[in-house]
């Protein structure tokens, strides 16, 4: 398959070779990975069979099972194991083994028909978040180029995922920039355990992101943040798995949290390409959910009416908004730390997705996020706070009549319950919370213990 990188702005449209490591086009805008050929629809059957295959870790991988649609490595034979297994990176076939499922109590809480509502739990990835989907492809590009050092700015999950993949690739060193004190305990523990170097910057994620871009320009560092277009190729498979589950029928709505907006970018690209290739007849609508304390996309899209506008984005409006944030010293603030981001790197790609998929952007308070998280937990699954922004967002959209009760809706749960256990314990220990389930302290006395069992 013949591949290249291209600027997302049509009036520029510059192309670059796949072997170039770029954080953007020379005009300053984001890049896409582009494929010249049009994949054959017969592959739908192939993907289906791979899902039940044993022994070939690339067939088993929820990312590489779809490898013909994300085949950016020049000169490999995608049907020959010996050829592709030398370059493609997988965590022993374990990334992306997810599919949509029903959660009845969550559907009832939202006020939507349970049979029309699914959640796809990306927390079931090897390092506990959807980031592994993108790390498999970003590391493949890095390996293809012989990279020795990878780096990212992170609110935690990108760092954890990168650290694990770097450790697996033996000769790759990982460096993670985090905002000091801004990362949940499970994620910090993972990064330390997997052996990456962690730099705690005195500042927040947006500071860490700005600094790492500068550092990457000065040193030979390969960035795996979602401005890396090859990482987003892997995240497209999150939507391929939704479609595979529905026999390539397209649901009405896809709902997910928005932080750095990598998923917004990747999902939009996935559906747009499939439509261009004639694989699907329509695209779904999407809803991106911001936390109220980190709501740049919500504000710019809904209040400032910032639009993709066929690639003619109003750059001055973005600059004006960002200078306003700087002048007023506005900082992102939410308990959903994975989406505590005010200057999302994929803003323009997100605007493109919103236009092509007739999207909406919603925002939810921490209170709404944490109640929703508790309800997901009550189903026996659970997730971290940023993930339940999906659920809180759908609930709000149903209340507003934007998502209708009988529309088919798939929400994405982005991260695992054990990523941020402190926020869960804090929620359940506070009796003023709607679904609080606090530990009960009882004296070491059988009668009192028996009484406590019977008390609500």
Ligand X SMILES: *Cc1c(COP(=O)(O)O)cnc(C)c1O
User: Where on the chain is the footprint of ligand X (CB under 6 A)?
Assistant: 129, 131, 157, 226, 257-263, 338-339, 384, 386-387, 414-415
Distance separating alpha carbons of residues 198 and 151, to the nearest angstrom: 10
Q: How far is the CB of 268 from ligand X (least distance, A)?
A: 12
Q: What is the SS3 assignment for 23-72? A: CCCCCCCCEEEEECCCCCCCHHHHHHHHHCCCCCHHHHCCCHHHHHHHCC
Distances in whole angstroms, Cα of residue 362 to Cα of each of 249, 365, 421 = 25, 10, 26
Distances in whole angstroms, Cα of residue 62 to Cα of each of 96, 109, 234, 236 = 4, 30, 9, 11
Of residues 209 and 283, the one with the C-beta less far from ligand X = 209
Distance separating alpha carbons of residues 345 and 440, to the nearest angstrom: 45
Of residues 366 and 384, the one with the C-beta less far from ligand X = 384
Q: Which of these, 264, 260, 170, 186, lies nearest to 223 by C-alpha position?
A: 260
Q: Which of these, 380, 348, 394, 157, lies nearest to 256 by C-alpha position?
A: 394
Q: How far is the CB of 220 from ligand X (least distance, A)?
A: 25
Alpha helix stretches (DSSP H) within 52-156 = 57-60, 81-84, 104-110, 131-144
Distance separating alpha carbons of residues 399 and 111, to the nearest angstrom: 8
Distance separating alpha carbons of residues 394 and 286, to the nearest angstrom: 11
Q: Which of these, 189, 357, 156, 172, lies nearest to 259 by C-alpha position?
A: 156
Of residues 60 and 233, the one with the C-beta less far from ligand X = 233
Q: How far is the CB of 333 from ligand X (least distance, A)?
A: 16
Of residues 262 and 284, the one with the C-beta less far from ligand X = 262
Q: How far is the CB of 290 from ligand X (least distance, A)?
A: 9
Of residues 3 and 225, the one with the C-beta less far from ligand X = 225
Distance separating alpha carbons of residues 240 and 229, to the nearest angstrom: 17
Q: How far is the CB of 188 from ligand X (least distance, A)?
A: 13
- Cα of first residue to Cα of last residue in the chain, in angstroms, is 62
Helix/strand number for the chain, H first, E second: 17, 13
Of residues 39 and 126, the one with the C-beta less far from ligand X = 126
Q: How far is the CB of 380 from ligand X (least distance, A)?
A: 19
Of residues 63 and 144, the one with the C-beta less far from ligand X = 63
Of residues 107 and 361, the one with the C-beta less far from ligand X = 361
Hey, what are 334's tokens?
């939410």
Of residues 39 and 415, the one with the C-beta less far from ligand X = 415
Of residues 47 and 298, the one with the C-beta less far from ligand X = 298
Q: How far is the CB of 280 from ligand X (least distance, A)?
A: 22
Q: How far is the CB of 155 from ligand X (least distance, A)?
A: 7
Furthest C-alpha separation in the chain? 78
Q: How far is the CB of 445 from ligand X (least distance, A)?
A: 43
Given the structure tokens 């990279």, which residue do they identify?
Answer: 147
Q: How far is the CB of 379 from ligand X (least distance, A)?
A: 18
């Amino acid at each position: 398959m013949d591949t290249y990188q291209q600027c997302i702005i049509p009036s520029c449209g510059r192309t670059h070779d796949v072997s170039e490591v770029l954080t953007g086009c020379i005009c300053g805008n984001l890049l896409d990975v582009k494929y010249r050929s049009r994949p054959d629809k017969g592959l739908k059957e192939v993907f289906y069979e791979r899902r039940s295959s044993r022994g070939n870790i690339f067939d088993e991988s929820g990312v590489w099972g779809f490898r013909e649609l994300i085949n950016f490595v020049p000169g490999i034979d995608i049907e020959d194991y010996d050829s592709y297994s030398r370059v493609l990176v997988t965590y022993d076939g374990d990334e992306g083994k997810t599919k949509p499922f029903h959660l009845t109590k969550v559907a009832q809480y939202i006020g939507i028909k349970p049979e029309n509502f699914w959640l796809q739990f990306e927390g079931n990835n090897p390092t506990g978040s959807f980031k592994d989907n993108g790390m498999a492809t970003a590391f493949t590009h890095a390996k293809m180029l012989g990279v020795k050092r990878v780096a990212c700015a992170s609110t935690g999950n990108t760092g954890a995922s990168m650290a694990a993949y770097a450790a697996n690739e033996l000769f790759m060193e990982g460096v993670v920039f985090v905002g000091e004190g801004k990362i949940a305990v499970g994620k910090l523990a993972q990064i330390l355990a997997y052996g990456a170097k962690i730099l705690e910057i005195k500042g927040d994620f947006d500071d860490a992101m700005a600094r790492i871009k500068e550092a990457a320009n000065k040193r030979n560092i390969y960035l795996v943040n979602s401005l890396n277009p090859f990482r987003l190729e892997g995240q497209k498979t999150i939507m391929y798995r939704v479609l595979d589950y529905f026999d390539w029928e397209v649901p009405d709505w896809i709902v997910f949290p928005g932080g750095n907006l990598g998923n917004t970018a990747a999902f939009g690209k996935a559906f747009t390409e499939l439509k261009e290739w004639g694989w699907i007849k329509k695209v779904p609508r999407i809803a991106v959910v911001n936390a109220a304390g980190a709501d740049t996309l919500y504000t710019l899209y809904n209040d400032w009416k910032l639009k993709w506008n066929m690639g003619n984005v109003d750059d001055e409006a973005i600059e004006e908004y960002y200078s306003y944030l700087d002048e007023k010293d506005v900082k992102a603030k939410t308990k959903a730390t994975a989406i505590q981001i005010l200057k999302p790197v994929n803003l323009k790609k997100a605007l493109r997705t919103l236009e092509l998929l007739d999207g909406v952007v919603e925002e939810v308070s921490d209170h709404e996020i944490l109640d929703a998280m508790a309800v997901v937990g009550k189903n026996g699954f659970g997730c971290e706070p940023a993930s339940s922004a999906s659920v809180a967002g759908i609930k709000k959209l149903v209340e507003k009549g934007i998502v209708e009760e009988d529309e088919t809706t798939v929400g994405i749960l982005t991260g695992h319950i054990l990523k941020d256990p402190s926020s869960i314990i804090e929620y359940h220990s506070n009796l003023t919370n709607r679904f609080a389930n606090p530990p009960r302290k009882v004296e070491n006395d059988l009668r009192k213990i028996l009484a406590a069992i019977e008390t609500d």
